[in-house]
Amino acid sequence: MQNNNKITPRKLSGFMELMPEKQIIFDNMRDKIQKVFSRNCFSPLDTPVLELANVLLAKSGGEIDKEIYHFYKGDTEVAMRYDLTVPLARFVAMNYDKLTFPFKRYQIGKVYRGEKAQKGRFREFYQCDADIIGNEQLPIVADAECVNLIYEVFNELNFDVTINVSNRNILFGLVENLGYKDLTMDVLTVLDKLPKIGKDTAKDWLKEYGLNENAINTLIEVCSLCGESDFILNKVSVLANNETYNKGVSELKELFGYIKAFGITNAVLNLGIIRGQNYYTGTIFETYMNGHPEFGAICAGGRYDNLAEYYTDKKLPGVGMSIGLTRLFDQLDSHNMLGESNLNITELEIIPLGDTITHCLELSTYFKSQDIVCEVNYDTRSFKAKLREADKKKIPYILVVGENEVASGTYSLKDMTKGEQYNLSKEECAEIIKNK
């Protein structure tokens, strides 16, 4: 009897789902990022997607943010991770006695945010994070190591980017020197929106907070400074004189010394980047794709004083960087910047003719032992149909196996790229494929 109650297949909005040819490109990008993390001696970590709600929400005092997915399983309140930093903090606090410091970890995994689904925003997305955690103290050279990690990642991906670096203590100290210390976070919130709202609107908002015209002009002028670090630091070093400000200037001078030692050629000092998150306490960085300002920051991060303050009394300062890979991939795709999509992961396809399937399976085992990615096409369609399908999938080599080939141990190897055909032993076939 026919079922007339079939459910229309559909997926939730805000969740990326790729066709195999694009998933291959995505996986290659993820693998390249992981390769850079690993070769820089960052250890892998894979924390659970689900956490106890009171642990995950410790920073918010246990209040459920509207973007957080949470539910009860029996009497246990559970929440889905919304970033990879809070689980890292929990992990470090739990395993403090087992870890060596500075602790360098990377994690590439999905996070979940129940925000309104729209173009460029996802409810499920991959983040690629790398952090360095210190015990009581963490030298500024760790900040430079994170900048170098960004530099190497985007070189590996072959993306033309600029790494913008600053230090929040510059603006913290400047606001204090101007006499508005109690308004620091309000002022920084306005300055963080400066590129979107423009100078005139920013001035109006700052006036509403009670800042005088001289202070407003000084702050906006400093936020416009972007370029070579020595020139800018010499220019701003005389603007204020207090402990916070001087710390920011000193840390930036030290940081850019290390950046130059690493050989990083595309980092600039940009005092206009602020990073909205309140937990950043010193160095901050944002990376932009050159020629594509509409992408926004494709990688960001910075220094925070105490990673695990909600879970332990131990002081654990850290610095980290994060790439929102799903969002970046979506932007590249929408701008046709992914390159040619290619479903080819198979190097060799074996096509049986007649009753040779068992021998073909034995051959596939041999070729796999030679590190050749191969498959046996056991479909029942015609030989010509199989060749057309292999050509469509851009498989470079076809091995035709009939009863004569089984008897002789000599096989017909077709080079689909050159259009050439050879009669060879399986060992000779393997050599040609491996040396292509």
- Tell me what percent of the chain is helix, strand and coil, each rounded to the nearest 5: 40, 20, 35
Same domain, 126 and 41: yes
Structure tokens at 251: 């840390």
Q: How many domains does the chain have?
A: 2
Among 301, 334, 367, the domain-final residue is 334
Same domain, 170 and 222: yes
Average pLDDT of the residues of the chain: 92
Structure tokens at 118: 């729209």
All residues at 6 or more sequence positions from 216 whose CB lies less than 8 Å from its CB, including other chains:
203, 206, 207
Same domain, 305 and 395: no
Task: Indicate the pLDDT class of residue 386, thresholds 50, 70 and 90.
Answer: confident
β-bridge partners, 130: 106, 321
Mean pLDDT of 254-283: 91
> Is 68 domain-assigned?
no
> Is 26 domain-assigned?
yes
For β-strands 103-112 and 43-44, DSSP reports them as: parallel
Parent domain of 356: 348-434
Task: Indicate the pLDDT class of residue 342, thresholds 50, 70 and 90.
Answer: low
Among 309, 334, 359, the domain-final residue is 334
Mean pLDDT of 424-435: 93
pLDDT in tens, 59-109: 765 555 778 999 999 999 999 999 999 999 999 999 999 999 999 999 999
Residue 130 to residue 34: CA distance in whole angstroms: 10
> Is 33 domain-assigned?
yes
Residue 223 to residue 257: CA distance in whole angstroms: 22
- Cα–Cα distances in Å, from 80 out to 69, 71, 116, 338? 6, 9, 17, 31
Same domain, 253 and 355: no
At residue 135, what are phi and psi to the nearest 5 degrees? -110, 105
Task: Indicate the pLDDT class of residue 345, thresholds 50, 70 and 90.
Answer: confident
Q: Is 22 exposed, middle or buried (0-12, 13-18, 19+ CB in 10 A)?
A: middle
pLDDT in tens, 175-206: 999 999 999 989 999 998 998 899 999 999 99
Amino acid 315: pLDDT: 95
Same domain, 132 and 202: yes
Amino acid 417: pLDDT: 87
> Is 330 domain-assigned?
yes
> What's the CATH number where 108 sits?
3.30.930.10
β-bridge partners, 374: 348
Give the 3-state secondary structure of residue 230: helix
Q: According to the 3-state scheme, what is the secondary structure of 271-294? A: CCCCCCCCCCCCEEEEEEECCCHH
Per the model's pLDDT, the better-predicted residue between 216 and 3 turns out to be 216
Same domain, 289 and 354: no
Same domain, 230 and 290: yes
Same domain, 361 and 309: no
> Is 75 domain-assigned?
no
Same domain, 308 and 394: no
> Is 394 domain-assigned?
yes
Residue 250 to residue 247: CA distance in whole angstroms: 5
Among 334, 358, 387, the domain-final residue is 334
Same domain, 330 and 251: yes
Q: Would you list the DSSP string of 304-363?
A: ES-TTTTT-SS---EEEEEEEHHHHHHHHHHTT-S--------SEEEEE-SS-HHHHHHH
> What's the CATH number where 373 sits?
3.40.50.800
Same domain, 102 and 223: yes
Structure tokens at 149: 């990690």
Among candidates 292, 295, 327, which has minimal Cα distance to 29? 327
Structure tokens at 245: 């400000």
Amino acid 62: pLDDT: 54
Same domain, 393 and 255: no
> Is 65 domain-assigned?
no
> Is 14 domain-assigned?
no
Task: Indicate the pLDDT class of residue 1, thresholds 50, 70 and 90.
Answer: low
Q: Are 18 and 333 in contact, with CB atoms under 8 Å apart? A: no
